[in-house]
Amino acid sequence: MANQVCFRNNHLENSWTLAAYQSSGGYEAVKKILSEKTSPEELIDEIKLSALRGRGGAGFPTGLKWSFMPRNAPGQKYIVCNSDEGEPGTCKDRDILRYNPHQLIEGMLIAGYCIGASAGYNYIRGEFWEPYSRFEVALEEARAAGLLGDNILDSGFDFQLHSHLGAGAYVCGEETALLNSIEGKKGQPRFKPPFPAGFGLYGRPTTINNTESLASIPVILSKGGQWFLDQGLPNAGGEKLFSVSGHVNRPGNYEVPMGTPFSELLEMAGGVRDGHQLKAVIPGGSSTPVVPGDQMMGINMDYDSIASAGSMLGAGSVIVMDETTCMPRVLARLAYFYYEESCGQCTPCREGTGWLSRVTQRIEDGNGAQADIDLLDSVAGNIEGNTICALGDAAAMPVRSFLKHYRDEFQHHIDHKQCMVTSDW
Amino acid sequence: MISEAARADIDRWVEKYPEEQKQSAVMAALRIVQDENGGSITTEMMDEVAAYLDMPPINVYEVATFYSMYEHKPVGKHKLCVCTNISCMLRNSKGVVDHLQEKLDIGFGEVTEDGMFSLKEVECLGACVNAPVMQVGEHYHEQLNPEKIDRLLDELRQES
Ligand SMILES: Cc1cc2nc3c(=O)[nH]c(=O)nc-3n(C[C@H](O)[C@H](O)[C@H](O)COP(=O)(O)O)c2cc1C
Ligand code: SF4
Ligand code: FES
């Protein structure tokens, strides 16, 4: 099966409208909850049963995260949706905003109800003006239909939902940087603890979830936690969106069960582009370690299987590379990205990403020295585990894995001052 | 001076946040005044935003220099933002860049003599499965190739 969760309405005409969403049972889950006054505990148990794990990259169980919220504490609490989507290779949340925005709204409503929040924000990256506009129209429709605002459907439950637009900064996808950004500050990550469930937006208890995580909620509650669990694996339920990009014939977002063999996903994406062979795959977005193609062909798209190949599922952003790919060139581009996006507050990240970028670039340019390979390894090692947020590790991991699997290509660049491969791009 | 229309737009953003949290609207305010000013911000404008939102100017400068979509030097009427990150790179974003640089005779960070276009290299735009991708104003242009780019440049010229 495929397209049963976040993409379940994409085949409908004007799928983003309230009418289309309601024609496929949209808003029924929240209506049932509000009329039956289902207890939040019961709902959270259902989500725990579903084994939904956070789709933003870290894979933290969503039900468990919600149970950390002091839902009965007095005062304002917030639900925040992370639609910052900036990890290279990732472009699934954009399609949820464009094609199924109401399911995200319903998911946020239910989340607000479960964690005791009467207000929420959807943080949408600044470049996503078109998806943002779609989401705004959906908000207006929902307000006009009495599905957002005060005393929703006469239930006594109030919920205000707004979007916040970013302005270009990958690091704002980190949840505490995102909160600072909503507060009108530089988007720099905060030290944890305190965690957002205790001290979040404006210092109030806050839950932050990815767009896809939240948009999965209405389906889980209408079809049941067990149903969702059955679509995937015991420790990772459901179908998930995979963005397959790079050297394939049909790049696209594919919603398939957790645990789908990579070979099947590759086939859905039309296989490696015609006339070429698979060389390497980055399975979860640019921050996750690269895996050689032949190894990848024996791997399934789930947390454990990908971990056994030394990488991570991340946000499900599968970047496929064929034999024309020069690995030093790719790594230099990624290293530059992390250097460009480091917020600069931790020395190992600020300085280390600069080193990684400069050294990978000089190897790529044919100006590398023999000592540079070890230098890269040591700089990466000094970043890992020594920073406030995971961007530092995200910069180090690609370096480690590229050197582990493709050291000969880096060596070739240093010895011969040129590429091992020829490419047409 | 921030125009009447811009104020009204900023006010709509202020309303989204708790009463004592006007500062949350600073990102929107900077975008709004930047758009009105043809795509870039001046110190004077940042000071006006600070006054309007009751913020210390330094905090506005911090925000305005942290995020990549704010410009502090004049840009072209159409700012062409080309993604060169991994998924776009694999699908020949270099070809897109070369073609644009040749057609427009400018490099990254430069503006054409007629002030019509500027070029900017940007990080992943979150549309990787439709690579190579470029953002122009509010719109994305995807699966780019030389013909598409030529057509787009013509359209943008005609628009002005
Ligand atoms: C540098 C960095 C960038 C991130 N970018 C995103 C992002 O764009 N979207 C996202 O949902 N999570 C992103 N995350 C993960 C978030 O911090 C957070 O774990 C996630 O939003 C939680 O939602 P989930 O539990 O539903 O996955 C990023 C983390 C880091 C360290
Ligand atoms: S690890 Fe890098 S991006 Fe994260 S807080 Fe430190 S300096 Fe900023
Ligand atoms: S890498 Fe270009 S849009 Fe993601």
Q: Of ligand 2's atoms, which has the minimum distance to the CA of residue A387? A: 1
Whether B1 shows a pLDDT value over 90: the answer reads no
Instruction: Using the Cα atoms of residue A105, residue A108, residue A113 and residue A116 in order, give the sign of their dihedral.
Output: negative
**pLDDT for res A130:** 97
Q: Of ligand 3's atoms, which has the minimum distance to the CA of residue B88? A: 2
CB contact under 8 A, A168 and B26: no
Q: Is B41 exposed, middle or buried (0-12, 13-18, 19+ CB in 10 A)?
A: buried
Q: Which residues is A209 bridged to in the sheet?
A: A81
Q: Which of A169, A185, A425 sits opposite B92 (nearest CB)?
A: A425
Q: Which residues is A161 bridged to in the sheet?
A: A120
CB contact under 8 A, B69 and A127: yes
Closest CA to A334 of B9, B75, B146, B124: B124
A168 touches chain B (CB under 8 A): yes
Output the average pLDDT for chain B.
97
Q: What is the DSSP string of A216-280?
A: HHHHHHHH-HHHHHHHSBTTB-SEEEEEEEESBSS-EEEEEETT-BHHHHHHHTTSBPTT--EEE
Q: Find the ligand nearest to A339 CA.
A: 2
Between CA A401 and CA A291 the distance in angstroms is 8
CB contact under 8 A, B59 and A127: no
**pLDDT for res A233:** 98
How would residue B5 be classed by pLDDT, with cut points 50, 70 and 90? very high
Between CA B149 and CA B152 the distance in angstroms is 5
Q: Taking CA atoms, what residue in B is nearest to A338?
A: B123
Tokens in use for B1?
A: 């001076």
Whether B87 shows a pLDDT value over 90: the answer reads yes
Which CATH fold topology does B78-159 show? Glutaredoxin (3.40.30)
Contact A242, A236 (CB under 8 A): no
**pLDDT for res A201:** 98
- The residue type at A402: F
Q: Taking CA atoms, what residue in B is nearest to A242?
A: B129
Between CA A48 and CA B85 the distance in angstroms is 36
B89 touches chain A (CB under 8 A): yes
What φ, ψ does residue B93 adopt, rounded to 5°?
Answer: -65, -25
Closest CA to B85 of A206, A253, A339, A365: A339
Domains of chain B: which residue ranges?
4-66, 78-159
B84 touches chain A (CB under 8 A): yes
Instruction: Name the percent of chain B lying above pLDDT 70.
Output: 100
Between CA B117 and CA B107 the distance in angstroms is 11
| CATH 1.10.10 matches B4-66 | yes
**pLDDT for res B51:** 98
What residues in A contact B61, CB-CB < 8 Å?
Answer: none
Between CA A408 and CA A402 the distance in angstroms is 10
Is the minimum distance from the CB of A212 to ligand 1 under 6 angstroms?
Answer: no
> Distances in Å between the alpha carbon of B90 and those of A12, A111, A364, A400, A412?
32, 38, 16, 21, 21
Between CA A358 and CA A339 the distance in angstroms is 9
Whether B53 shows a pLDDT value over 90: the answer reads yes
ipTM surpasses 0.85: yes
Residue A133 Cα to ligand 1 midpoint, Å, equals: 22
Q: What is the DSSP string of A50-111?
A: HT-B-TTTT--BHHHHHHTS-TTSSS--EEEEEE---STT--SHHHHHHH-HHHHHHHHHHH
CB contact under 8 A, B62 and A186: yes
CB contact under 8 A, A129 and B130: no
**pLDDT for res B26:** 98
If you take atom 6 of ligand 2, which residue's CA is the nearest one?
Answer: A346
Q: Whole-model pTM above 0.95? A: yes
Whether B160 shows a pLDDT value over 80: the answer reads no
Q: What is the DSSP string of B27-66?
A: HHHHHHHHHHTTS---HHHHHHHHHHTT--HHHHHHHHHH
Closest CA to A376 of A393, A391, A362, A355: A355
**pLDDT for res B159:** 86
A333 touches chain B (CB under 8 A): yes
Q: Residues in chain A with pLDDT < 70?
A: none
DSSP A189: P
**pLDDT for res A159:** 98
Closest CA to B60 of B123, B10, B108, B98: B10
- The residue type at A10: N
**3-class state of residue B132 by DSSP:** coil
Closest CA to A415 of A357, A378, A372, A356: A372
